[in-house]
Structure 1
Amino acid sequence: MTRRTSTTGIVLLVALSLTGCSQIAAIAPVGGDRLAEVRFAGIDVLVDADIQILEAPVCTEAADATVTCAGSTVDGDTITVASPGSDPDTLTVTTGDTSVYEGSLHAALEKAMGG
């Protein structure tokens, strides 16, 4: 009986730790650079629009400082988040062919902070 309880406990612990992996990957650090700001603003916009995220956007920054991010929704749509290097306060968020947000990156961050 003790061995069965121990095995069940270990299986439960492993399952819980694996479930948390994708959630841990999306946790925002305190502070951050432009890449992080674009990523978290995009995630904030998606959450505010009640869009369920399957794969949190992963971002890259080009030589011209343009940041682009890609992820996916639970419905299978591609998430695209972009902010051009030529206008760093501009943020565009789309899911599939649908525009979710076009506007100020900092306004999106401030809205998520309750400001």
Structure 2
Amino acid sequence: MNHASAERHARLFKALMHPVRLQILDLLRDGEQCVCHLEAHLGQRQAYVSQQLAILRKAGLVADRRDGPNNFYRIIRPEVLTMLDTARAIAGEASATPGASSNACPCRRCAPAPTMPLLRKEEIPC
């Protein structure tokens, strides 16, 4: 490995050297997610989550898409998931469970406010 290649590899590993960034990548494992969804799962403020996403984007691991007021992120280098799985195996942890990150999300998009049931015509007071 030459020096330039080693520098590129070091930049990649540096982007991965943060627990929240690893959690974000794990949440994106199942596909594109909005920032509010990531916020809710991580229990972190939007600005902090966006800062971590910017580092992952600069490293070329994720890409974003704007839809109205919402930003959505997705993994564009799926090889990084193999790296995460390898790290789990080395640490002696269980493999990630696909779909586990999307269950019971408390964010506004996934858990909208409850609505009142509609009244039947005969229940409407005159």
Q: When the two structures are superposed, what TM-score results if normalisation uses the length of structure 2?
A: 0.28
In our comparison, the structure showing a higher alpha carbon Rg is 2
Q: When the two structures are superposed, what TM-score results if normalisation uses the length of structure 1?
A: 0.30
Larger helix fraction of residues: 2
Using CA pairs under 8 Å that are at least 6 residues apart, name the structure with larger relative contact order, 1 or 2: 2
